[in-house]
Amino acid sequence: MNFHRFSNMIGNGLILFGSGLCATALVLVMSTSANAQQNKRDTLRDQVNPKDANASDPWLGGNWQFGAFGQAESNPYRGADSMDLDGLPLLAYDAERLHVGIDGIAVKVWQNEFASFDVIGALRMKPFDNDDSSYLRGMQERDMAYDAGVGFKTRLWRGELGAHYLTDVNDAHDGHEVDLTYTLPLDLHGVTFSWGGGVLWQSEKLANYYVGVSGTEVRSDRSAYSADGAFIPHLDLTMTYPIMDGLMLMGTGGIKLLPDSYTDSPLIDDDYTYSLGLGLVYNF
């Protein structure tokens, strides 16, 4: 085994360990952050680190990524601050068929020239804390979820169609989620854009994780509420710009239109949420 391959194997082990440490930090600094769609994360990964299909090793022939990301996101919960400001470190190992990082794990188990199939895992941050507002006091504390599932992507017309299925594996919400998104790429004066739109489906249990009010959470100004399964349309934008060799500026934006299953809840004040994010990442 040559030194380069050995060092990559050691590096891959370190990135797994480092990702665990950074995930802990993520829990501390982003305990109320909403979750980006899996399709949006995949699109940004591809922009930040285009994969080399001719790499000698599709598993260990990738790059490390290190950086930071900040995001401003509207908060739809009653009485809470209108905007949440979050920041987190970025740490990941990214190869043609393997991604391990703070944003999740993806293993490409099958691919050809036009399509691919992944096994994926990701953290789902709890939607709110009881101390976010006086109105939310007395709500049962939500746990952070560990979601796992599968993803499929295929070229379609000038863009890409992506579908992902995620389910809870640690009994935090016992629900399911399906995301279907179509994205179109655009290169403009050195900036790479991806415009996307689609719909996110959440099962009843997952919707209640976000907006449900159980009998034990009822009080005089907060009635019981059980949410139905929710279809959530969304529009997304990602962009990247190479500042110098290996250093990339990235940005994200998006809006979700909240359905009646959400807006009928006494916990929710708004009909939509939006977010803007900006970060720097270095590939090495």
Q: In the block, which residue shows the tokens 């994360």? A: 41
Contacts 24+ apart (CB under 8 A), 257-263: 257/232, 257/233, 258/76, 258/232, 259/230, 259/231, 259/232, 261/207, 261/211, 261/227, 261/228, 261/229, 261/230, 262/76, 262/207, 262/210, 262/211, 262/227, 262/230, 262/232
Q: Residue 115 corresponds to which tokens in the numbers above?
A: 């399509």
**Given a cut of 70, is residue 67 above it in pLDDT?**
yes
Residue 132's identity, in one-letter code, is D
| 35-49, 71-85, 188-202: least confident range | 35-49
230-244 vs 145-156, strand pairing mode: unpaired
Query: pLDDT digit string (tens) for 99-122?
Result: 999 888 999 999 999 999 999 999
Mean pLDDT of the chain: 88
Q: Are 260 and 225 in contact (CB under 8 A)?
A: no
Query: pLDDT digit string (tens) for 158-215?
Result: 999 999 999 999 999 999 999 999 999 999 989 999 999 999 999 999 999 999 999 9
- What is the residue-wise DSSP string for 106-135? EEEEEE-SSEEEEEEEEEE--S--GGG-GG
Q: Give the confidence band of 17 by pLDDT, cuts at 50, 70, 90.
A: very low
Q: Give the confidence band of 265 by pLDDT, cuts at 50, 70, 90.
A: very high
User: 26 in helix, strand or coil?
Assistant: helix
